[in-house]
């Protein structure tokens, strides 16, 4: 979530008491042996990775070659997670930022099921879990709610799961607590940010009730912090030292992700504050 080296991230989160990492979904950028050495150095485990469904990546594209390449990207990502000892692939099936369909709903559904089933065959054989992740309507027209993700997971296979994200749920769900309950045992990953996508505790979400609901359904896995701070470029900015004017090592995909999410590169100071606040808010609920 910041333009920095992996080691910088690991050093920061290790010092703040984090135990796991969801690594960026860019397998071409990493040497897994080097990453494993860094994880060991900072006593952090790989939890999994999140797909970066940008540009032409789309499991429900009308073009079969595009779908094939998109499946292969997720398979490459899954192999990286396996090699790093991770467990979960958080999968957004369609291109992030694409809000106009290419085909009829029944066609797209068939292509999505076929694509995820191909990935599922690999994850099942290699001890990994897929978590279908709903994201809000302004980022995709396909899979916005937990109920939709659950339907896709059920169509794929008995061990296909769902990844829920509190930021997206706050926009799309009638009752996010009931959605957590409905997903139930299919919940394999849980992303957290507040309603404004700042760190947990910096908005209005009821974190006590969220965490208690997770306990209620027996979820005892990783809580994955995924804030993406909406930076203020006006004189009203309460965090004047938040914008990094000269980011280093920011890939085209990273820049697009940050820009698309109402943000840009953020400073080390601001990022550390958000990471620390997340830990302080959530740690009291962890057992």
Distance set, CA 10 to CA 6, 53, 138, 262, 268 (Å):
6, 24, 31, 25, 13
How far, in Å, CA of 130 to CA of 191, rounded? 14
**In 75-123, at which residue ranges do the beta strands (DSSP E only) sit?**
88-91
Q: How many CA atoms lie within 13 A of 208 on its CB side?
A: 0
Burial class of 45 by CB neighbour count within 10 A (0 to 12, 13 to 18, 19+): middle
How far, in Å, CA of 25 to CA of 32, rounded? 13
In the three-class reduction of DSSP (H, G, I as helix; E, B as strand; rest coil), residue 21 is classed as strand
Out of 22, 139, 172, 226, the active site residue is 226
**Annotation says 108 is catalytic:** no
The answer to whether 241 and 270 are in contact (CB under 8 A) is yes
What residues contact residue 97 under an 8 Å CB cut-off, 6+ apart? 54, 139, 140, 260
What are the phi and psi torsion angles at 95 (to 5°)?
-65, 130
In the three-class reduction of DSSP (H, G, I as helix; E, B as strand; rest coil), residue 169 is classed as helix
**Annotation says 280 is catalytic:** no
As a residue count, the chain comes to 287
Out of 133, 139, 172, 173, the active site residue is 133
Cite the active site residues.
133, 226
């Amino acid at each position: 979530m910041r333009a920095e080296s992996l080691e910088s991230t690991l050093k920061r989160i290790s010092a703040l008491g984090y135990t796991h990492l969801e690594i960026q979904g860019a397998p071409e950028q990493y040497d897994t042996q080097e990453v494993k050495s860094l994880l060991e150095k900072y006593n952090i485990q790989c939890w999994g990775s999140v797909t970066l469904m940008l540009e032409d990546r789309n499991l429900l594209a009308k073009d079969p070659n595009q779908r094939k390449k998109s499946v292969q990207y997720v398979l490459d990502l899954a192999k990286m997670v396996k090699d790093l000892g991770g467990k979960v692939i958080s999968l957004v099936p369609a291109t992030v930022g694409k809000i106009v369909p290419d085909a009829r709903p029944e066609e797209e559904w068939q292509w999505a099921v076929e694509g995820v089933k191909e990935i599922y065959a690999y994850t099942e054989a290699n001890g990994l879990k897929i978590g279908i992740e709903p994201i809000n309507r302004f980022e995709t027209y396909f899979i916005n709610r937990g109920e939709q993700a659950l339907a896709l997971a059920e169509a794929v296979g008995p061990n296909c799961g769902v990844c829920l994200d509190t930021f997206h749920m706050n926009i799309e769900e009638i009752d996010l607590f009931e959605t957590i309950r409905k997903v139930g045992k299919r919940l394999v990953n849980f992303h957290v940010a507040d309603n404004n996508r700042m760190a947990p505790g910096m908005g209005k979400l009821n974190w006590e009730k969220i965490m208690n609901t997770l306990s209620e359904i027996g979820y005892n896995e990783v809580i994955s912090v995924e804030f993406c701070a909406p930076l203020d470029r006006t004189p009203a900015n309460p965090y004047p030292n938040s914008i990094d004017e000269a980011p280093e090592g920011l890939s085209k995909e990273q820049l697009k992700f940050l820009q698309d999410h109402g943000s840009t590169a953020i400073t080390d100071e601001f990022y550390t504050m958000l990471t620390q606040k997340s830990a302080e808010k959530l740690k009291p609920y962890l057992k």
